[in-house]
Every structure is written in structure tokens, then in C-alpha cells.
Amino acid sequence: MIVVVGIGADGMAGLTAPSLAELHRATVIYGAQRQLGLLDDTVKAERRQWPSPMLGTLETLRDIDGDVHVLASGDPMLHGVGRLLIKLLGADQVVVLPHVSSVALACARLGWAVQDTEVISLMTAEPDSAVRRGGQAVVLCRDGSSPAALARLLAGSGRGDSELTVLEQLGGPDERRRDTTAREWAANPPDDVDDLNVVAVRYLPDDSRLSVLPDDAFAHDGQITKQSMRAVTLATLAPRTGELLWDVGSGSGSIAIEWCRSGSRCRAVAFERDQQRRKRIAENALAHGAIVDVRGEAPGAFDEIVLSAGGVDGLPRPSAIFIGGGLTQPGLLQACYERLPAGGRLVVNAVTAESEAVLAQWYSRVGGELRRFQHYSGEPLGAFTGWRPAMPVTQWSVTTR
């Protein structure tokens, strides 16, 4: 059995009686150097520091006879080692004794309701994943440099007025709080931020929305799936929590970004041949806090990715692929279709007769659903109003078998 004990910055003094009893009976305790350093002399167990990377050691714990104890920060089930151990070993092999989490402590200090606060971890993600266009969040930081990195990103993406509260050593005798704005912190970042810190952020200006974004929310050169068609395309792609999209012929990245906005932990890879557009996709993704990996032209860029049973470059295979451009390129549609797992979704939009011909052939071969959309907008016509049509869009969608 693996027993995971959460501990706070207050060390042994903050532990409950069951947690203390587990540590006192332990024979070996695994943990990070900082966590192990919080134990006092009443704990007689051998202390083993995690190596880097630690995954290999975690997998060997199941082979140790008797109970093994693991020390973790705060609540081990909140972006912590508890969840990872359960995933590796099974819930019946792991007992978790949580401490008060840093998120709960941060919300208590600020008077925020926990259920109204997003939790973002930078332990394994980059700071740009914590950029938002509104709302409030507690950001779990990797080290003392993370608050400055986040502040610079917010200031650089028009969110310099965002209110930051940097909380260090939460719950411990050396707890410290600093209130500022992203702009102020970015301009003059302190050099004494403790590695054990979280940042509470109120994102300003708050222009968040749950609906599909207007076209002017994206920088683009005209190569963008328009808002109405974007809404239809997202409905057909049907993103689910944690899924990965490949956006082929990404243009401005609008579909990839909307995919990431649509559900928790959704990510995307954007394939685009034009270098300037690739730069623009990255900028758009940053502005909306979307996790988009920008790559070169498809299907050539597919050859740079090693496909294996484990996934793609350490990432899982895409759950869905959207093709918004380059459809007439020889082999593109076949390459995309082959890279989807069973049950994967493929959605393709076409506006030219040549592209429509390709879709008609594939629809005849493998089935799916073929639809055409025509959108009109009201515009002045003399003293009256007339309807001006946008270019019709043919859409083919299919689920792989």
C-alpha cells in the first residue's frame, strides 16, 4: 500500500493526528527535498529524495514489500503526486491524507469563493497557459520566476491592469503577500520571490465570453473561418474534455483556438505553411490563453512527427482533425484520415469547386455527412436593406471506424 501524506509550509505543526501517526510508523518516506526538510526528528524513517525525472521511481513503488509513504505538498490530489500514483497503481493501492491546499488558503486570504475560481498549474505547463480574458484564477507556480513571467505575458497581451496577489509560503510562519498589477510587476519584478508561491489573478479588462468569438478577436489577413461558419464547424467537431485537435491549413488559428476555449484541457496542433501566419497563430493563441502547438505545412510536417502506440512526440493522437485549407494538395486528405484513431472525427470545409470535387469522392468512398451552408448578411441597398450572400461552404464530416 502507498500512503500519501500532504504537508503544508507549517510543517509538522499543521498535520492532523492520522497524518502524524502515518509518518511516525513509516520505514521509508519519499518526497522532494523541501518537503522532506519539513520533517522533524520524531520521524525516524529513511528519507529518499525524488530523482529527476521521478516517473521511473514511482512505477517501482508497487514492487516494494509493505507500506510505502510519500510526502507531498498540500493536497496531493490537486495537480499533485496523489493523482499520478492512483493512475499508475490503482485507487485500491493508494491512500491519500490531504493537507489544506494552497488554492483553499489563497482563496481564504482574498475572500474568493473556491467554486468561482479557476485553478491553473504551471508545474508542467508554460506561463502562457495562464493567460485569460476575464475571470479569476489561482495559478500554481513552478518557481520564483513564474510570477514575473506571467506578469510580462499579461502586460504584453493587453492585460496589464490585471490584479495580481503573489502569496509565498502559504500557511507557514514566513507567509508573505504582495499585491500589485501585472504591469507594475512586469516593469519591476522582485528578485526575492520564494519558490513556494501561488499567484491569484483577477484578469482585467474582463471581456471573457463563452460563445464563439467575433472575427475581430483574431488578428488575420483574411484567411479565417468566419464566425457563423466557425460555430457550425465547432458543433460538428464536438470537442470533449482533454481532447487534442489537429487544425490543418490553420490560417489565423481561429478553429484551433475556439477548440481550446470550448472545453477543459483541450489542446490543438496548428499546421500552416506560411511563416507569417504561423507567427500570427502563436500570437492569437497567447492572447486567448489557448494551448496551440504551431507547426509547418501538412502533410509534410506530419513526417516530422514520430507516430507510435504511445502517441505523437509524447502527445496522444488527435481525437479530431479539421482541414480548412490545402485540400487539393495531393495526399493531404488521405494522410489526415490515416492518422485518426478509431472513433476519431474528421471535418473538412471547402469553398472551391475543385475542393468540393475531392469531398464528393471521399463521401462516395467512406460515407459520413455532406452539407452545404450559405450565410447572408443584411446590408444597405439604397434607402432599403438587402441580403448579401457570403461564399457557400461545403462541409464533409466523418467518424473513422
Query: Do the domain assignments include residue 207?
Result: no
Task: Evaluate whether residue 209 is within a structural domain.
Answer: no
Average pLDDT value for residue range 23-48: 94
Last residue of a domain, one of 202, 224, 242: 202
Domain boundary among 150, 177, 202: 202
Percent of the chain at pLDDT exceeding 90: 82
DSSP E strands: which ranges in 141-266?
Answer: 163-168, 176-181, 197-202, 244-248
- Res. 5: pLDDT tops 70: yes
Determine if residue 94 is left, alpha or beta; phi over 0 gives left, psi from -120 to 50 gives alpha, anything else beta.
Answer: beta
If asked whether residues 243 and 331 sit together in one domain, one would say yes
Q: Does any domain span residue 34?
A: yes
**346 and 220 both lie in a single domain:** yes
Q: For residues 273 and 357, state if they share a domain.
A: yes
Name the domain boundary from 100, 119, 141. 100
68-73/197-202 β-pairing: unpaired
pTM value is 0.83
Same domain, 161 and 269: no
Domain identity same for 322 and 259: yes
Cα–Cα–Cα angle for 280, 304, 251, rounded to 5 degrees: 25
Write down the mean pLDDT value for the chain.
Answer: 92
Q: How many domains, the chain?
A: 3
Instruction: Give a yes or no: residue 226 inside a domain.
Output: yes
Q: Quick one: pLDDT at residue 64?
A: 83
For 383-400, what is the mean pLDDT? 96
Section 68-94 average pLDDT? 93
Q: What is the mean pLDDT of residues 316-325?
A: 90
What 3-state class would DSSP assign to 70? strand
Whole-angstrom distance, CA of residue 29 vs CA of residue 264: 34
Q: Is the pLDDT of residue 310 over 90?
A: no
pLDDT tens for each residue of 207-246: 888 889 999 999 999 989 999 999 999 999 999 999 999 9
Does one domain contain both 190 and 276?
Answer: no
- Name the pLDDT band for 311 (thresholds 50, 70, 90): low
Task: Please determine, for residue 181, whether its predicted confidence score (pLDDT) is greater than 90.
Answer: yes
pLDDT the model gives residue 125? 86
pLDDT tens digit sequence for 138-179:
999 999 999 999 999 999 988 999 999 999 999 999 999 999
| Residue among 162, 312, 322 nearest 257 (CA) | 322
Same domain, 164 and 253: no
Q: Which residue segment(s) compose the domain that 96 sits in?
A: 2-100
pLDDT above 80 (res 89): yes
Same domain assignment for residues 326 and 222: yes
Per-residue pLDDT at 309 exceeds 50: no
Q: Is residue 313 over pLDDT 60?
A: no
Place 303 in a pLDDT band, splitting at 50, 70 and 90: low
- In terms of domains, do 261 and 172 share one? no
Give a yes or no: residue 176 inside a domain: yes
Q: Is the pLDDT of residue 35 over 50?
A: yes
41 and 125, same structural domain?
no
Query: What CATH number is attached to the domain comprising 350?
Result: 3.40.50.150
Write down the pLDDT at residue 334: 96
User: Which residues are 70's β-sheet partners?
Assistant: 4, 30
Question: Does 190 share its domain with 335?
Answer: no
Instruction: State residue 314's pLDDT score.
Output: 46
Q: Band of the pLDDT at 315, cuts 50, 70, 90? A: very low
Other CB atoms within 10 A of residue 69 CB:
22
Cα distance between residue 185 and residue 202, in whole Å: 14
Distance CA 19, CA 22 (A): 5
Q: Does 170 map to a domain?
A: yes
The pLDDT of residue 208: 85
Average of pLDDT values for 362-371? 97
Q: Is pLDDT of 198 > 90? A: yes
- Among residues 296, 206, 204, 208, which one has the least CA distance to residue 250? 296
**Are 136 and 37 found together in one domain?**
no
pLDDT score for 305? 54
pLDDT at 60: 83
Residue 208 is assigned to a structural domain of this protein: no
The CATH number linked to 51 is: 3.40.1010.10
Highest mean pLDDT (candidates 121-130, 156-165, 297-306): 156-165
pLDDT at residue 207, as a whole number: 87
Would you say residue 242 lies in a domain? yes
316 has a pLDDT exceeding 80: no
**What pLDDT is stored for residue 211 in this prediction?**
87
Confidence of residue 37 (pLDDT cuts 50, 70, 90): very high
